[in-house]
Structure 1
């Protein structure tokens, strides 16, 4: 029984890390397409939302639903790093990401129930990402590097969305959370950029935030269920 449980935990870790690698591959393809279109398109302003929530829903409800989904992706990926990375710095970072973002999810879920009691049940669309991630693991230093390359633009998306919420959110409480997200994840981006440069000589991947947003919205268009604003 204990052996079966251990195998299940390891499998979940590998799936979580596989998702990180799958995102990097997909983002790379989108980046290539973006470069081919020329600089003018890349300079256009990006929308604050990924397009996985109903545009007719209230701003704060959309922010909550998309940020919960965004946080859950980071939690899933960081769970594998806690168990598998050989670098103590990354294990510590992953633990901090887990602790902070789990607390924020709980807070947002509470507000969702209080502010939007008539909103439909939340629905997540992670299945497709799980399927993409299976078999993508190589482990070791390669996985650590891919985690950093993925998590930097993933955090940047949260920073941009938080900055937008500072201007547009209706509830003061949500604006307060947005400030925490911006400050906390900006600091973590800088930390990850230092690791990426020191360990691998890589430049920052912040610029992949836009293509990553496009990719996530595209996954919804291919059949990912969205969070419904009404029952």
Structure 2
């Protein structure tokens, strides 16, 4: 079952993640909490795909303009992990006869020398939002595969947030 208005609402919600997260607000998690069963799983996968695609875009920006080797390595890891998870969730959506398309995020060029700090600063709230969405998935999904992915996202992105914070303190 496709619910275009729900998909549009979730896509718009995911697009505002960075801004809302900086202000302590969660956007997608409450919307997901109102759903049940397969509708929840579809909405979670669609929202997380859009969320992951924006992280991949930010990581590509880091690779293009970043100077700190360990931050660039982290960006490559974000791209690899999140593209793999996008492929997994797209397979789920296909098996559920649901759409997996999401808007593409475009970023403008950052001033020279600020890309590393920008990437770390933006990825912290971005990952925190993914963790929040995944906590809701652990509670509300009835699908083992969805819960397993949610656990992996929580573990990996919580660890990455801690690492990014440490690196930010070390950047000049």
Give 5+ residue unaligned stretches, structure 2: 1-15
Per the TM alignment, residue 46 of structure 1 is displaced from its structure 2 partner at its CA by 6.5
Which residue of structure 2 aligns with residue 139 of structure 1? 112
| Gap runs ≥5 in structure 1 | 1-22, 32-41, 201-231
Task: Look up the SS of the partner of 2:111 in the other structure.
Answer: coil
In structure 2, do the counterparts of structure 1 residues 96 and 152 end up closer, same or farther at CA, with 3 Å as the change threshold?
Answer: same
Q: Conserved in 2, the CA contact under 8 Å of 1:162 and 1:179?
A: yes
Counting matched residue pairs gives 154
- Structure 1 Cα separation of the partners of residues 156 and 100 of structure 2: 26
Instruction: Provide the alpha-carbon RMSD of the alignment.
Output: 2.9
Secondary structure in 2 matching 1:48? helix
- Alignment match, 2:71: 90
Whole-angstrom CA distance in 1 between matches of 2:26 and 2:59: 30
Decide which of 83, 102, 125 is 1:124's aligned counterpart.
102
Which residue number in structure 1 is paired with residue 171 of structure 2?
199
Instruction: Please point out which of 160, 163, 166 is paired with 2:138.
Output: 166
Q: How big is the shift at 1:45?
A: 8.1
Moved over 4 A (4+): 44-47, 54-57
Offset, 1:147:
1.2
Name the structure, 1 or 2, with higher relative contact order (CA <8 Å, separation 6+). 1
TM-score by length of 1: 0.59
SS of equivalent residue, structure 2 residue 29: coil
Distance 1:45 1:147 in 2: 20
Residue aligning to 1:76: 57
